[in-house]
Amino acid sequence: MTGFHIPISAKRIKVLGLSESARKAESLAQFGKPIQKSDLLFLAGNGLQDAAHRASSCMGWIWRQWLLGTPKGLLSRQVEPFVDRGLEFREQSRSYDYLALHDLYLLHCAIFASNDAQLRTVAERVADASGDKAAKPLDVGHGELYAAAWCGMMKYWILGDDQRALSQADLIWEAYKQRGVFAAPKPLVLPWLKKDWSSFLKCQRKDFDKLWNRARKDYWTVKSENSTEVVVTTERYQIEHQWCWAHCGMALLAHRQGVEVLTDPFWFPSAAVDDIASSMSTEQHDHPSQLHMF
């Protein structure tokens, strides 16, 4: 592969198998499926394991819809009922198993595609690092504390309690993190917490650059690259640790408050923000003509 020195913004992005990847994620999320007796039996024995998997699949579906350029209004019609069902799963579950992960992923589904009222409802109901269901999150060997503290940080940021958001964030960096779950790097989080938007934008660009560098080294993202085009795929992607869902979540929350955040033609497409605010500089946006699906 050649042309690494040429900025991504100057190249065409070709996404292989995107529609099929979106259909697979949609099937795994099970949009529109009502809660059935079998679901309740699974909850009783396995907690929110399946619901957490559905929520991560929903995140992956939303990302692929952004890549397809689907308007936010169409996404919301699918996602808002999905989020309501996720909250019902949570209410029905009596176990703490997978609750922290479920809440973290469901909250991000709401950040990505819910209206403000539903987002606030989700933020009010999800857990933080103090625990829930009469249980405390486990740390070493489990990763519950990492997920719960991250969820708590987002929860209180949304609810406007900056001090509690900072307190939850302090727990993240010392917590045990499962290999299959990765949110965002500390240098990106700290300016976001402080609402230092100039620094946050600089850290966004650095994080996108790191993601592209990683993608060029792995065996599943960048299939080929030259001076004019990058061919990529989202097939067989492990959303929880291979996509920058937490970066996108922080950026979208900032954007809901009027901050002009950066986008990336692959990792955080402009469709994610176009229906929230339309007045963005061309320097900060990938261009619609830059992205092609095959």
Tens digit of each residue's pLDDT (9 = 90 or more) over 259-272:
999 999 999 999 99
Distance CA(75)–CA(71), nearest Å, equals 7
Q: What is the mean pLDDT of residues 195-216?
A: 96
Q: What share of the chain is helix, strand, coil (3-state, %, to 5)?
A: 60, 5, 35
Full-model pTM: 0.90
Greatest pairwise CA separation for the chain in angstroms: 57
The end-to-end CA distance of the chain, in Å, is 20
197 burial type by CB count under 10 A (0-12 exposed, 13-18 middle, 19+ buried): middle
DSSP-assigned states of every residue in 194-240: HT-HHHHHHHHHHHHHHHHHHHHHSSSSEEEE-SSEEEEE-TT--HH
142 versus 25: the higher-pLDDT residue is 25
- The answer, yes or no, to whether residue 28 has pLDDT greater than 90, is yes
The structure tokens 């929110």 sit at 48
pLDDT in tens, 210-224: 999 999 988 789 999
- Cα separations (Å) of 164 from 48, 102, 171, 184, 248? 26, 21, 11, 19, 22
Confidence label for 281 from pLDDT (cuts 50, 70 and 90): very low
The structure tokens 């999150």 sit at 137
